[in-house]
Amino acid sequence: MSHSSEIQACIFDLDGVIVDTANFHYKAWKRLANELGFDLLPEQNEKMKGISRMESLDMLLEMGNIEATRKEKKQLADMKNNWYRDYISEMQPQDILPGVLDFLEELTEAHILVAIGSASKNAPTIVRQVQIGRYLDALIDGSKVTKGKPNPEVFLKAAEEMGMEPADCVVFEDARSGIEAAKNGGMRAIGVGSEQMLHQADMVIPGLDHINLEKLRTLEK
């Protein structure tokens, strides 16, 4: 696929790109694992990033060799989500990661559209807490999709809501499953995190404080 077209929209993953809720997810899953009698290591957690709540729970239960009925799974997922919601309830605009607001301002001034494409059903709450709603042309969260990343549905819906073609969009993602989702949808992808983890991306940056419009435009060449 040719990726030489002009960039007209940026779609941002939320957890781990705009805010560091990835850490809160980890804390809550680890707490659940501990309740169930085992531990969750950071490298095991890495695989759960970007994956929906119920799929993440299935992975966790598999790691702990635990079987559960549907009803029990629902209870466990609710437990995790209640802890997680507790952690995020204190979030404020100061919790936005470095470089995010400057970059969103720069995109807005350049008339590049901005969307959030998150697997999280808590995305609207987080957006409200950190007050970034004014920058968004679309917000697609976990309640609006049926197929999780690496399926591209979340990003395709964001593009559609902005009236954009996939080839007009660049996705920013911290999860391997998210980079795959962007690629599966025919979009360019910028990995946010470690090069080693996200090597399938067109470019990898440590955080949004390492990107600006000029650098973004290098993906057009």
| Residue number, 119 or 190, with CB nearest to ligand B16 | 119
Q: Which of residues 9-28 bind ligand B16 (CB under 6 A)?
A: 13-16, 22, 25
Judging by beta carbons within 10 Å of its beta carbon (0-12, 13-18, 19+), is residue 178 exposed, middle or buried?
buried
Residue type at 44? Q
Smallest separation (angstroms) from Mg ion to the CB of 126: 11
Count of chain residues binding ligand B16 (CB under 6 A): 21
Residue 124: which of 149, 137, 99, 143 has the closest Cα?
Answer: 143
3-state secondary structure of 18: coil
> What does 45 bind: Mg ion, ligand B16, none (CB cut-off 5 to 8 Å by kind)?
none
Residue 184: which of 50, 57, 8 has the closest Cα?
Answer: 50
> Helices 53-63 and 21-35, interaxial angle, to 10°?
40
33 touches ligand B16 by CB under 6 A: no
| Helices and strands in the chain: count of H runs, count of E runs | 9, 6
Smallest separation (angstroms) from Mg ion to the CB of 198: 11
Identify the residue among 8, 33, 40, 50 touching ligand B16 (CB under 6 A): 50
User: If you search the block for the tokens 């549907």, which residue do you land on?
Assistant: 70
141 is catalytic: no
| Residue number, 86 or 220, with CB nearest to ligand B16 | 86
Smallest separation (angstroms) from ligand B16 to the CB of 9: 17
Count of chain residues binding Mg ion (CB under 5 A): 6
Distance CA(91)–CA(194), nearest Å, equals 25
15 is catalytic: yes
48 touches ligand B16 by CB under 6 A: yes
Q: Which of residues 131-190 bind ligand B16 (CB under 6 A)?
A: 142, 175
Tokens standing for residue 210: 């390492």
148 touches Mg ion by CB under 5 A: no
Tokens standing for residue 148: 């999780």
Residues that bind ligand B16 (CB under 6 A): 13-16, 22, 25, 48-53, 56, 81, 118-122, 142, 175
> Catalytic amino acids?
13, 15
